[in-house]
Structure 1
Amino acid sequence: MPMFKYVFGPVPSRRLGRSLGVNVVPLKYCNFNCIYCQLGRTKHVINDLRMFYPPEDIIRELEIAVRTRDYDYLTFIGDGEPTLYAGLGKLIQWARDNQDKPLAILTNGAKLIDENVRAWLSELDVVKVSTDAGSERTFRLINRPHREITFDKFIEGIEKFREVFSGQIWTEVMLVHGVNDNEDEIKRIGDALSRYRPDRVYMMVPTRPPAEPWVKPPTSDVLMNLAKVLSRYVNSDRIFIIDYIERGEFHIDRNDPVNSLLSILKIQPMTVEQVMDVIRRNNLDMDILDKIRSLTKEVTFNGIKYLVYSGE
């Protein structure tokens, strides 16, 4: 089986089941610099579209992956913000024409103010956006966006997309203790959500090591109370609380387990136990764990040990 550079998984997803990922942006090229980001601080804060990789190279991998891997969703994602990739529209169209599983993207939503990006994403089945704030002040505090991006323009872009999109918009609201986990801010977030009417709202808390070490999740009691407040703006049957780590099997290439694991770790930290489980299930030598440890750093968050990719 060939080694892939852009396609990884499938990996277990809290929202998408077995998600076959397509990584279209290099590490930490993003238009946000979120305080809770599991990939660390953004090193390249940009807001212009760039052709990071030749689309043909990604399509060559996809041609193999969609025939040989069992997945529920084909998901566009990035080591940064995927809608900054200028070749995204071409990839989405290829995926629509050449495989029959639903298509998703995990995006912060800030580039939906761009008409071309809205047109690309309108071909998808699920578009996951983020709304962690309901005001300019909190938006800048928690998401730390590129200077060109204002909160009003951010929400306006998602509103315009809602008008043309026939698929599902799912929203993540990441709650951070002492930043946006108060009733007033949740009411403002509710007002923002009312403007674009998401089909689902996932109330999240940081479960992996965040970019800023002081970031902590709110307590379970606070989370439940805030969900009740948000239900005044969004039907309660559309609100889902996620405060746990994904469970499930990670797919790797047994012929190249180290690089396969690194391709996942570039997107999300894994617990030491998760990495050990992958090694055991594939009947691999436990020495692989030592190799992975030499290429990552170990971080403890909420009492759990994670391996975090720290390369370029």
Structure 2
Amino acid sequence: MTISLNRWRLVFHYVFGPVPSRRLGRSMGVNVVPLKYCNFNCIYCQLGRTRYLINDLRMFSPYEDIIREMEAAVKSRDYDYLTFIGDGEPTLYAGLGELVKWAKENQDKPLAILTNGAKLTDERVRDWLSNLDVVKVSTDAGNERVFRLINRPHREVTFERFIEGIEKFREVFHGQIWSEVMLVRGVNDNEDEARHIGEALRRYKPDRVYAMIPTRPPAESWVKPPESNALIAFAKNLSRYVNSDKVFIIDYVESGEFHVDKSDPLNGLLNILRVQPMTVEQVMNVIERNKLDPLILDSVRSLTKEVTFNGIKYLVYSSEHD
């Protein structure tokens, strides 16, 4: 992806939102990795199956182009967090350190990243992320067997190395580590897995733990969220290893306003949809609130597919358009 100019208007390809976040309030996203380069192939991923399973750093796009967009966005948009993410795993982007450095020096909102944490085995990545305020990592398993089943990582990523990398990062990081545990019915939602995951979490001492369930269409159609009583029981079991006041349950879809540039609303909606499916209602609300042309919904539908998950209709971006 490259930056482009339309007369005097900057067309955004990397920066989107802010969008409502269950953990970060109004989160303005910086998307640094194209669909879908990742070192995990999680069965529950809302972006679908991983197309390019890699574990090496790559310069997917010039960091100068991304900085140009960040510079324009931080001056004109109201947000709570500036959040680095990817259509895959953001720590695979070789220019991430330059982006973090710029954001630290040129805007005053807290910085976060949504990462699976597997690349924290790399000292360079630990150095880049040490300048952030919040680092969200994933810990969906507590042993190699379940790790391979639910996260399906790159062959170079073993469960032990994965946890060791987060432990090393904890030693040098003075901000907050938030851990996300995505629960899948019949895979990691039982008492034994709560014990194994709790023991793994205790090794790197996260500041918060979010017990979550899939709320958007997953990569594998057989993936289902656990029942409510199983989710509550899991969180209680987890509290044996992590203080109960640090454990939070999230079992709902975000609500709130999605920001799109009125001068280019279709591109703004697609930039959001590339990183997270939206409900049909959410897209319609954006169109109505901003008094946009209702025909934009037809354009969005032509570039997405409608998927029903847990009785809710979502528009999921179709990767064939990239």
> Considering the TM-score relative to the shorter chain, is it more than 0.5?
yes
1:245 aligns with 2:253: yes
Q: What is the alpha-carbon distance in structure 2 between the residues aligned to residue 127 and residue 73 of structure 1?
A: 12
Q: 1:95 aligns with which of 90, 103, 121?
A: 103
Could you tell me which residue of structure 1 aligns to residue 79 of structure 2?
A: 71
5+ residue gaps, structure 2: 1-8
Paired residues for 1:209-248 under 5 Å: 209-248=217-256
How many percent identity over aligned positions?
78
Query: Contact between 1:25 and 1:81, CA under 8 Å: does it hold in 2?
Result: yes
Q: What is the alpha-carbon distance in structure 1 between the residues aligned to residue 10 and residue 68 of structure 2?
A: 11
Shift of residue 255, structure 1, vs aligned partner:
1.2
Query: Contact between 1:25 and 1:85, CA under 8 Å: does it hold in 2?
Result: yes
Q: What is the alpha-carbon distance in structure 2 between the residues aligned to residue 202 and residue 2 of structure 1?
A: 37
Runs of 4 or more above 4 Å deviation: none
Structure 2 residue identity aligned to 1:39: L
Query: Contact between 1:29 and 1:42, CA under 8 Å: does it hold in 2?
Result: yes
Instruction: List per-residue Cα deviations over 1:69-94 (Å, max 9, x = no partner).
Output: 00000000000000000000010000
Q: What is the alpha-carbon distance in structure 1 between the residues aligned to residue 292 and residue 65 of structure 2?
A: 29
Instruction: List per-residue Cα deviations over 1:215-241 (Å, max 9, x = no partner).
Output: 000000100011110000011110110
SS at match of 1:254: coil
Paired residues for 1:5-154 under 5 Å: 5-154=13-162
1:285 aligns with 2:301: no
Shift of residue 3, structure 1, vs aligned partner:
1.9
Could you tell me which residue of structure 1 aligns to residue 183 of structure 2?
A: 175
Structure 1 residue identity aligned to 2:253: I
Instruction: List per-residue Cα deviations over 1:15-44 (Å, max 9, x = no partner).
Output: 000001000000010000000000000000
Shift of residue 2, structure 1, vs aligned partner:
2.6
Shift of residue 286, structure 1, vs aligned partner:
1.3
Query: Contact between 1:3 and 1:253, CA under 8 Å: does it hold in 2?
Result: no
SS at match of 1:9: strand
Could you tell me which residue of structure 2 aligns to residue 298 of structure 1?
A: 306
5+ residue gaps, structure 1: none
1:269 aligns with 2:277: yes
Instruction: List per-residue Cα deviations over 1:265-311 (Å, max 9, x = no partner).
Output: 00000000000000000011211111100000000000100000012
Q: What is the alpha-carbon distance in structure 1 between the residues aligned to residue 25 and residue 11 of structure 2?
A: 23
Q: What is the alpha-carbon distance in structure 2 between the residues aligned to residue 224 and residue 292 of structure 1?
A: 37
Q: 1:160 aligns with which of 160, 164, 168?
A: 168
Q: 2:198 aligns with which of 190, 197, 208?
A: 190
SS at match of 2:11: coil
Shift of residue 256, structure 1, vs aligned partner:
1.0
Structure 2 residue identity aligned to 1:302: N
Shift of residue 156, structure 1, vs aligned partner:
0.2
SS at match of 2:103: helix
SS at match of 2:179: strand
Q: What is the alpha-carbon distance in structure 1 between the residues aligned to residue 185 and residue 113 of structure 2?
A: 27
Structure 2 residue identity aligned to 1:46: I
Q: What is the alpha-carbon distance in structure 1 between the residues aligned to residue 109 and residue 262 of structure 2?
A: 25
Q: What is the alpha-carbon distance in structure 2 between the residues aligned to residue 203 and residue 191 of structure 1?
A: 15
Structure 1 residue identity aligned to 2:185: H
Structure 1 residue identity aligned to 2:156: E
SS at match of 1:275: helix
SS at match of 2:10: coil
SS at match of 1:2: strand
Q: What is the alpha-carbon distance in structure 2 between the residues aligned to residue 240 and residue 182 of structure 1?
A: 17
Q: What is the alpha-carbon distance in structure 2 between the residues aligned to residue 146 and residue 166 of structure 1?
A: 29
Shift of residue 9, structure 1, vs aligned partner:
0.4
Q: What is the alpha-carbon distance in structure 2 between the residues aligned to residue 166 and residue 257 of structure 1?
A: 38
